[in-house]
């Protein structure tokens, strides 16, 4: 039986500058998905590449004193290098200046024009070179493009237009009727709401510069860069061959939120005009900031991912991106967060599990995987903790990769607990010792499979060190027939010391705020505590999980006033029991002269709440830790050390006058 095809693409990057961590993030996500589908046994085709035409590239090349082609050729090296360093398992890397792409784009432009969907007219309006997009007045803030903080250029030129407006209803219907086409839900709603306004036809050629694919049969016009770029998804799989037909039948685009309109409004209309089916899904990931700030050259905070990998290795970078940010939500990157993840979940949890198992097998069995005796309840209980593969596969299909990572690491932690509980180093009975070490090794074999999509290099190292081939998901179950010789243990992850220079404000010893892990949560349900007059029991949607907390805000709010509010949760507060009800966190609220108001935000549940430059804590804290953090209110915002608390979407608010305290 032939394998099911699975086609996954990233956006193609603009190579006008070196790759940044947003580019790295998208590739890591797509790579995890591609590898998962390979483990499932599907026939995966993974496309990445570069978007090399357009005014932005031409302008940058001119400034560098190079021809655009020479410029993109040089830049392409950096993007390919990034993929190599990150172990991105793409099947093809497409560049829009390649002949195969130019041919496809030219043919399809002609086809759409021949069918009457493209006509000539005059465009007069605004163009943002940064976005390579036409803008309406109302999209600007203070006359500037909000993404690039620059006033767009006024252009007036003869253009070809694509009859986008004719497809408006069809687009709306498609998005409404095909839940899976555009995800996540919040972005789907946003696009549907934008589609309530009438669509203009789309200008699809330019005459004011010449770095692009010529419009067929025209001397002056080149094809608009987006009309050209989107076709990469077809040219990259050899449109219109059988190969194209196979993979296009199950196509999935991974893109960032800033380009969702192009992919879910322009792209479907263009495909229909070409008489081609639509991709199965466009999944939109969130945008990354660095230490709480948007990345920009002028701020000097653009992190070179290749340098980052050079410093920490590819797997800690991959793990941090996949674990730290819930799928679809915006994230913030800081090196100190990466270091914390590296030290805790990679070095301490996974590295240590491998290390101690192998050391004990060498010491007691000369490196030979021992046979096992009777399996006790310890082994049987651990076997039950192997993640349910069909459940993980469903999570992956729903693009909930962060939950998959979380479940795999819960399992790794459980394996460590097994070792701690069974204390093999104290064991004197050789059969029992063999059973424990066989069990640990067998779980490591399963772990090598499950972690491969997340940290491929380390997963392969684990498999090699335990002397086993890397299996597929079918092999991710406890077997009783594993045998062989393990190799000398090698350190998987080095622990990294947090350097003061990397994050000056982030030394936990100096800064109590760095202990807190704050995130946005939505109040889903408010129950009265049956055993206390002043307490509510709140059920919260905290993004990746549901949490129950007990809160003393009952005298200040009715349940109706609270339900639906997006509040700030102290997520890493140690669980406490309030008159028989467990509380797993605490909400932030301010107080002045007896009036209490909760801290609020519009950001999505799960979004991290930060003070710029301070990355969140990862271990549990106590009330005493929290009380060391002095927060107050100014202009209705919560302030720590003169810096406001915020999410990537904006500042946290609290409806209290200046001078209120927050507790
Ligand atoms: O948009 N965080 O190219 P691009 C997360 N050429 N993702 C980010 C990001 C950030 N800070 N900044 C950018 C283009 N990205 C077009 C695509 S596809 C036919 C043409 C993501 O280099 C961005 O959302 O500006 C996009 O998905 C990808 O990186 C390339 O962005």
* CB of 230 closer than 6 angstroms to any ligand 1 atom: yes
Q: Which residues of the chain have pLDDT under 50?
A: 501-508
Q: Is 20 a catalytic residue?
A: yes
CA of 483 relative to ligand 1 center, distance in Å: 47
Q: What pLDDT is stored for residue 649 in this prediction?
A: 67
Atom of ligand 1 nearest to the CA of 23: 29
- The rounded distance, in Å, linking the Cα atoms of 402 and 29 is 10
Atom of ligand 1 nearest to the CA of 331: 2
Q: What pLDDT is stored for residue 618 in this prediction?
A: 63
Q: What pLDDT is stored for residue 500 in this prediction?
A: 52
Ligand 1 pocket: which of 256, 299, 301, 328 to mutate (most atoms <8 Å of CB)?
A: 256
> Which one, of 129, 93, 84, lies nearest residue 10 by Cα?
93
CA of 255 relative to ligand 1 center, distance in Å: 7
Q: What pLDDT is stored for residue 74 in this prediction?
A: 97
* CB of 259 closer than 6 angstroms to any ligand 1 atom: yes
Ligand 1 pocket: which of 8, 10, 11, 148 to mutate (most atoms <8 Å of CB)?
A: 11
Q: Is 297 a catalytic residue?
A: yes
CA atoms within a 13 Å half-sphere pointing along the CA-CB vector of 359: 10
Tokens 């100190």 belong to: 336
The length of the chain is: 663
Non-local CB neighbours of 127 within 8 Å, separated by 6+ positions: 133, 134, 135, 152, 153, 155
Atom of ligand 1 nearest to the CA of 286: 5
CA of 60 relative to ligand 1 center, distance in Å: 17
CA of 189 relative to ligand 1 center, distance in Å: 21
The radius of gyration of the chain's CA atoms, rounded to the nearest angstrom, is 27
- The rounded distance, in Å, linking the Cα atoms of 374 and 358 is 21
* CB of 598 closer than 6 angstroms to any ligand 1 atom: no
Burial 284-302 (b: 16+ CB within 10 A, else e): bbbbbbbbbeebeeeeebb
CA of 25 relative to ligand 1 center, distance in Å: 10
Residue identifier of the C-alpha nearest atom 26 of ligand 1 = 256
Q: Is 3 a catalytic residue?
A: no
Q: What pLDDT is stored for residue 107 in this prediction?
A: 98
Q: Is 83 a catalytic residue?
A: no
Out of 3.10.180.10, 2.40.50.140, 2.60.40.1260, 3.50.50.60, the CATH code matching 512-662 is 2.40.50.140
CATH 3.40.50.300 fits 334-475, yes or no: no
* CB of 287 closer than 6 angstroms to any ligand 1 atom: yes
CA of 257 relative to ligand 1 center, distance in Å: 8
Q: Is 294 a catalytic residue?
A: yes
Task: Judge if the upstream peptide bond of residue 178 is cis by omega within 30 degrees of 0.
Answer: no
Domain positions in the chain are: 334-475, 512-662
Query: Which among 20, 135, 505, 515 is annotated as catalytic?
Result: 20
CA atoms within a 13 Å half-sphere pointing along the CA-CB vector of 323: 25
**CA separation (Å) from 147 to 132, 224, 258?**
12, 20, 9
Residue identifier of the C-alpha nearest atom 8 of ligand 1 = 22
Task: Report pLDDT digits (tens) over 133-157.
Answer: 988 888 888 888 888 888 999 988 8
CA of 147 relative to ligand 1 center, distance in Å: 12
* CB of 11 closer than 6 angstroms to any ligand 1 atom: yes
Q: Which tokens in the block code for residue 654?
A: 């609290």
């Amino acid at each position: 039986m032939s394998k099911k095809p699975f086609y996954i693409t990233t956006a193609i990057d603009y190579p006008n500058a070196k790759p940044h961590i947003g580019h790295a993030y998208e590739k890591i996500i797509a790579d995890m998905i591609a590898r998962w589908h390979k483990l499932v046994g599907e026939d995966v085709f993974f496309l990445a590449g570069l978007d090399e035409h357009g005014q932005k590239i031409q302008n940058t090349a001119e400034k560098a004193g190079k021809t655009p082609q020479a410029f993109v050729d040089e830049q392409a090296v950096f993007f390919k290098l990034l993929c190599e360093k990150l172990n991105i398992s793409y099947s093809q890397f497409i560049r829009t200046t390649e002949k195969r792409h130019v041919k496809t784009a030219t043919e399809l432009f002609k086809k759409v024009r021949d069918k009457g969907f493209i006509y000539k007219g005059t465009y007069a309006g605004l163009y943002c070179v940064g976005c390579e997009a036409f803008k309406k007045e109302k999209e600007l803030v203070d006359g500037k493009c909000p993404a690039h903080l620059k006033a767009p250029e006024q252009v007036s030129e003869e253009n070809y237009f694509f009859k986008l407006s004719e497809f408006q209803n069809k687009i709306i219907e498609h998005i409404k009727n095909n839940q899976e086409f555009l995800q996540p839900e919040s972005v789907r709603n946003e696009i549907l709401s934008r589609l309530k306004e009438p669509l203009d036809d789309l200008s699809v050629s330019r005459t004011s510069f010449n770095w692009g694919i010529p419009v067929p049969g025209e001397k002056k016009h080149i094809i608009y860069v987006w009309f050209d770029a989107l076709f990469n998804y077809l040219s990259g799989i050899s449109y219109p061959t059988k190969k194209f037909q196979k993979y296009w039948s199950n196509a999935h685009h991974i893109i960032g939120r800033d380009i969702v309109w192009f992919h879910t409004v322009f792209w479907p209309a263009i495909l229909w005009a070409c008489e081609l089916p639509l991709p199965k899904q466009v999944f939109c990931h969130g945008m990354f900031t660095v230490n709480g700030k948007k990345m920009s050259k002028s701020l000097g905070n653009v992190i070179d991912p290749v340098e980052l990998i050079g410093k920490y290795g590819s797997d800690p970078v991959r793990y941090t991106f996949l674990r730290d940010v819930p799928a679809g939500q915006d994230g913030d990157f800081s090196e100190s967060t990466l270091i914390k993840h590296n030290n805790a979940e990679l070095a301490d949890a996974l590295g240590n599990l491998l290390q101690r198992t192998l050391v004990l097998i060498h010491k007691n069995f000369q490196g030979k995987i021992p046979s096992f005796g009777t399996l006790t309840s310890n082994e049987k209980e651990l076997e039950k903790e192997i993640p349910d593969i069909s459940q993980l596969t469903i999570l992956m299909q729903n693009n909930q990769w962060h939950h998959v990572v979380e479940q795999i690491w819960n399992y790794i932690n459980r394996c460590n607990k097994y070792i701690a509980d069974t204390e093999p180093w104290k064991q004197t009975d050789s059969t029992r010792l063999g059973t424990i070490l066989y069990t640990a090794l067998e779980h490591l074999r399963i772990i090598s499979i499950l972690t491969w999509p997340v940290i491929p290099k380390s997963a392969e190292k684990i498999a090699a060190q335990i002397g086993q081939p890397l299996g597929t998901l079918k092999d991710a179950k406890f077997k009783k027939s594993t045998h062989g010789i393990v190799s000398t243990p090698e350190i998987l992850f080095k622990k990294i010391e947090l350097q003061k220079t990397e994050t000056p404000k982030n030394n936990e010893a100096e800064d109590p705020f760095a202990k807190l892990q704050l995130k946005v949560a939505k109040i889903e349900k408010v129950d009265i505590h049956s055993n206390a007059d002043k307490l509510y029991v709140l059920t919260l949607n905290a993004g990746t999980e549901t949490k129950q907390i007990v809160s003393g805000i009952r005298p200040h709010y009715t349940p109706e006033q609270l339900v639906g509010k997006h509040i700030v949760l102290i997520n890493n507060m140690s669980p406490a029991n309030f008159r028989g009800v467990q509380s797993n966190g605490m909400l932030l609220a301010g107080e002045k002269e007896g009036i209490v108001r909760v801290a609020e935000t519009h950001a999505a549940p799960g979004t991290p709440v930060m003070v710029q430059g301070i990355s969140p804590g990862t271990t549990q804290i106590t009330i005493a830790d929290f009380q060391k953090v002095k927060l107050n209110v100014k202009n209705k915002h919560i302030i720590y050390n003169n810096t406001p608390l915020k999410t990537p979407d904006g500042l946290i608010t609290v409806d209290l006058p200046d001078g209120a305290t927050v507790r």
